[in-house]
Amino acid sequence: MSQELLDKVNQKLHEHFHGSIEQAELLYDYPVFTVNKEKIHDVLKFLKEDADLNFHFLTDLTGMQTADEKHLGAIYHLHNMQKNTRIRVKTFFPMIHPEIPTATDLWPAANWMERETYDFYGIKFVGHPNLVRILNVDEMDIFPLRKEYPLEDQTRQDKSDKMFGR
Amino acid sequence: MSKKEKKNTASSADTHPAADTKEKEYSTLNLGPTHPATHGIFQNVLKMDGEIIHDAVSTIGYIHRAFEKLAERRPYAQITTLTDRMNYCSSPINNMGWHMTVEKLIKAELPKRAEYMRVIIMELSRIADHIICNTIIGQDTGATTGFLYLFQWREKIYDIFEDICGARLTTNIGRIGGFDRDFPAKTWDKIRAFVKEYPKAFTEFSNLLERNKIFMDRTIMCGPISGERALEYSFTGPNLRAAGVDYDVRVMNPYSSYQDFDFIVPVGTQGDTYDRFMVRQEEMWQSLRIIEQALKNMPDGATHANIPDFFLPPKEEVYNNMEALIYHFKIVMGETDVPKGEVYHCVEGGNGELGFYLISDGGRTPFRLHFRRPCFIYYQAYPEMIKGGMLSDAILTMSSMNVIAGELDA
């Protein structure tokens, strides 16, 4: 089932976005596509509006940082409720220029999810109507979920506890 | 506050029909952050035209507790306590959702008995969750009786949780791989007694409100949302079903043996407060049906999966058996190896699809853990739903959406 879905979506994406689909894999029975960031908006629009695929429901949108701490990623979970098929779309981009187009024009629900992602990872969603922090305080000057910020006292310089690994 | 500031506080373009050429003057009202009627810490800055809401801006994050960051420092078993504190009205569902996510990652197979026991716990907490939501709707319309009357039944559910895990609200119930032990015999009796006696009290509550003219006039077409709009806003759970979309994770992606049970998914038509109330009412009846079936068909056998790497061995084994001691030590110190991988698991929480997106790099803690919190996602439609309505409808809409501050802010 999942393998068929992966093949089908993969074929369609390759037809329309030749060369922009960097990876298609099955992770724990979940089809996952890695898309070039330049094409991410077009791919999402295509997945949503294609009559056959019809991934009309944005289940989740979140961010992540890669293990090398040089890239950020945005992860979209899409759902077609009629056929009950789910896919995950990922895109990665370097941390020095973390900008990707917004998905708020496709799903109003992306509004707060993108604000949350911006809040924690500093990913700038170009075209978002109101990209400001949502859960953290406005004065915060860091993006707390990035790995370079430790759990406690992110910006303190005077406290270094080698033994217990602050 | 001066007039100039007022304009800045309430945002967005003025879409009001310009019947009179003179610019209309609005007043700004701060609803919250700690308003007794909102049952939690929610702030909404309302732009009011008399008593009609013209525009609204929600501010959230007042009880943000950095769960996703904390989770990156904790071994898998210790993350359950974080999930408790999200939707604290139905903590066991969150706990089970997290356990199942880890079980998916480590590919553990659970015995049927453990899965049925989980179903009982989850449905009991769904009832507890819906009791809170529905009685509070009654409370906010001025009917305090139902609230006090049904709350003692929520206490009985919490007594059952207390028997099983020692806690009432933030339960930390169960383990990765099942339950630490079978329910005590008296708890089985309590569950049976609850299933038998609750319908009587619940029927009385239903009679009090369901066909009550005052209640119906108050709630019908109060804060409505269409099915299309609800889907665009990624609504899930009772709020989506009230708008007429029959999406239920228990049916679409059955977990924990939900495919074995016979129940219906109630849907509404208008997505207003009354429909949300009625959907939750019917869901409580369905939850009772599920519990009855689970009690009737309860299989015998083990209450946890055979995964010694993750499940603490019994104490007498630990004292007398070398392997058990090693496992015990490794689990407690969080030194168990987990496979690398990425999983997304979702359960039907009290408010909708509660998702766990987990990336493991093989270390002792998750590399990345994201909670898909249904409240957070659907609460952004709130300003749209209350626009054009009265201030008192805004209160009612919020309580019928069952926005839980803990889940909203993670």
Token pair, residue B334, equals: 């969080």
Q: Which residues of A touch B66 (CB under 8 A)?
A: 144
**Section A1-30 average pLDDT:** 85
Distance of alpha carbon B205 from alpha carbon B136, whole angstroms: 12
In terms of Cα–Cα distance, which of B170, B179, B155, B192 is closest to B92? B170
Whether residue B216 lies within 8 A of chain A, CB to CB, comes out as no
B330 close to A (CB below 8 A): no
Which of A1, A34, A59, A88 has the most B C-beta neighbours within 10 Å, making it the best mutation to test the interface with B? A59
Taking contacts as CB-CB distances below 8 angstroms, the residues of chain A near B42 are none
Nearest Cα residue in chain A from B378: A109
d(CA A33, CA A6): 9
Instruction: Please give the share of chain B, as a percent, with pLDDT higher than 90.
Output: 46
What does chain A look like in DSSP terms, one character per residue? -HHHHHHHHHHHHHHHSTTTEEEEEEETTEEEEEE-GGGHHHHHHHHHH-TTT---EEEEEEEEE-TTSSEEEEEEEEEETTTTEEEEEEEEEETTS-EEE--TTT-TTHHHHHHHHHHHH--EEET-TT---SSS-TT--S-TTSTTS-SS-TT-SS---TTTT-
pLDDT at A52 over 90: no
Interface check A12 vs B, CB under 8 A: no
Q: Which helix (H) or strand (E) holds B341?
A: strand B341-348
B109 at A interface, C-beta within 8 A: no
**pLDDT for A155 beyond 80:** no
Nearest to A74, CA basis, from B71, B357, B356, B339: B357
* Residue B410 near chain A (CB below 8 Å): yes
Of B66, B367, B372, Cβ closest to residue A60: B372
- State the pairing for strand pair A85-94/A71-80: antiparallel
Q: Which of B212, B265, B213 is nearest to B241 (CA)?
A: B265
DSSP β-bridge partners for residue A23? A34
B1 has a pLDDT exceeding 50: no
Tokens read off for B14: 């003025």
pLDDT band at residue B342 under the 50/70/90 scheme? very high
In this complex, how many residue pairs, one in chain A and one in chain B, have their CB atoms less than 8 Å apart? 86
Distance in angstroms (rounded) separating the CA atoms of residues B119 and B288: 11
CB distance A134–B61 less than 8 Å? yes
Cα of A146 to nearest chain B Cα, Å: 9
3-state secondary structure of B246: coil
- Residue A21 near residue A33 (C-beta atoms within 8 A): yes
CA dist B33 and B43 (Å) reads 4
Domain at A2-126: CATH architecture: 2-Layer Sandwich (3.30)
DSSP assignment string, B31-92: E-SB-GGGSSB-EEEEEEETTEEEEEEEE--TT---HHHHHTTS-GGGGHHHHHTTSGGGHH
- The number of CA neighbours under 13 Å toward the Cβ of B57 is 16
The alpha carbon of A29 is separated from its chain's Cα centroid by a whole number of angstroms, namely: 19
Domain boundaries of chain A, sorted by first residue: 2-126
A134 has a chain B CB within 8 A of its CB: yes
Angle, alpha carbons B266-B139-B392 (nearest 5°): 95
Residue in chain A nearest B254 by alpha carbon: A84
A108 shares contact with chain B (CB less than 8 Å): yes
ipTM score assigned to the predicted complex: 0.89
CB contact under 8 A, A151 and B252: no
The closest CB to that of A135, out of B64, B104, B361, belongs to B64
> Residue A163: what pLDDT?
58
**Residue of chain B whose Cα is closest to the Cα of A65:** B368
Per-residue model confidence as pLDDT tens digits over B170-205: 888 988 888 888 899 999 999 999 999 999 999 999
Select from A32, A71, A116 the residue whose CB has the most chain B CBs within 10 Å, as the one to mutate to test that interface.
A116
Confidence category of residue A22, pLDDT binned at 50, 70, 90: confident
A106 at the B interface (CB within 8 A)? no
User: Does residue B30 sit in helix, strand or coil?
Assistant: strand
Q: Is B181 on the interface with A (CB under 8 A)?
A: no
For residue B83, is pLDDT > 70? yes
CATH code 3.40.50.620 for B69-409: no
A109 touches chain B (CB under 8 A): yes
- Check pLDDT > 60 for residue B161: yes
Residues of chain B with CATH 1.10.645.10: 69-409
Beta-carbon contacts of residue B46 (< 8 Å; ≥ 6 apart): B10, B28, B29, B30, B31, B53, B54, B55, B56, B391, B394
Residue A17 touches chain B, beta carbons under 8 Å? no
Q: Rounded to an integer, what is the distance from CA A130 to the centroid of its chain?
A: 18
Count the Cβ atoms, other than its own, within 10 Å of residue A63: 25
What's the longest Cα–Cα distance across chain B? 88
Best B12, B69, B86 residue to mutate vs chain A (most A CBs within 10 Å)? B69
Token pair for B350: 């009290």
Residue A129, Ramachandran bin (φ over 0: left; ψ between -120 and 50: alpha; else beta): alpha
Average pLDDT over residues A95-99: 90
Nearest CA of chain A to the CA of B257: how many Å?
Answer: 18
Question: At B344, is the secondary structure helix, strand, or coil?
Answer: strand
pLDDT at B10 over 70: no
Q: Place B309 in a pLDDT band, splitting at 50, 70 and 90.
A: confident
CB interface of B with A, residues 372-401, below 8 Å: 372, 376-377, 379-381
pLDDT in tens, B29-77: 898 788 888 888 888 899 998 889 999 999 888 889 989 988 888 888 8
Nearest alpha carbon to residue B312 among B75, B77, B73: B77
* CA–CA separation, B88 and B85 (whole Å): 5
Q: Do the Cβ atoms of B66 and A81 come within 8 Å?
A: no
